[in-house]
Chain A
Amino acid sequence: AQKVTQAQTEISVVEKEDVTLDCVYETRDTTYYLFWYKQPPSGELVFLIRRNSFDEQNEISGRYSWNFQKSTSSFNFTITASQVVDSAVYFCALSEEGGKLVFGKGTKLTVNP
């Protein structure tokens, strides 16, 4: 069965610190997709990234970067030089062929000025 674990329930950092959000997943499928979503205090869910199981290249988008390691079943998310606007709940999610989508319980990130 699919499972996504975000062990960090809450993280608090000071602005300009780097922070890494952990995501560990379980799946029996060889084809699957991993996602990160952001939920700011306003409540909407914002897509950040999608990665398929055959593409282990790390990705960087501005201050955001993602590290996908199949060997450890992890898909970690790093924010460099964090800003107050990064304060949000971040969700990691896993989708397999067949349509079922499983989310982690989320990590609440607070960036203090």
Chain B
Amino acid sequence: EAQVTQNPRYLITVTGKKLTVTCSQNMNHEYMSWYRQDPGLGLRQIYYSMNVEVTDKGDVPEGYKVSRKEKRNFPLILESPSPNQTSLYFCASSPGQGLGEQFFGPGTRLTVL
């Protein structure tokens, strides 16, 4: 089944404790991206990757890191999480350099205390 998977789906953590949210796709898509969704703000792009070893900042990259060592994986790293990073996070992949339909993962709900 073609899909984007994210883990964990739910996470409660404390300020400053490094965490990684994994994202994996099995559709051989070049493009992958991370978004956060907050009430009243819609979806905002954090980082995106057009291909392996190529990453770029979206609109809200502060406090996040990503890496794209393999085509299928695009982990989101929070080195020192803060409460303002409490949010719902979505990973997505897309064929065609981000100009095609985005296939979204199920979301990760993160709470930073």
Contacts and interface: CB of A to CB of B under 8 A. Distances in A.
Interface stretch (B20-28, B70-78, B92-100): B92-100
Interface stretch (A44-52, A58-66, A71-79): A44-52
A102 B40 contact: no
Contacts of A33: 99
Contacts, number: 62
A16 B90 CA distance: 33
B58 to A, nearest CB: 6
Interface of A: 6, 9, 33, 35, 37, 43-45, 47, 50, 52, 91, 93, 95, 97, 99-106
Interface of B is mostly: strand
Contacts of A52: 99
B43 interface: yes
Contacts of B107: 43-44
B33 interface: yes
Interface residues of B, number: 27
B40 A105 contact: yes
Contacts of B48: 99-101
Which of A97, A101, A104 gathers most chain B CB within 10 Å?
A: A101
Contact of A99 (B31, B59, B101): B31
A101 B42 contact: no
B58 A100 contact: yes
Contact of B42 (A43, A91, A95, A99): A91
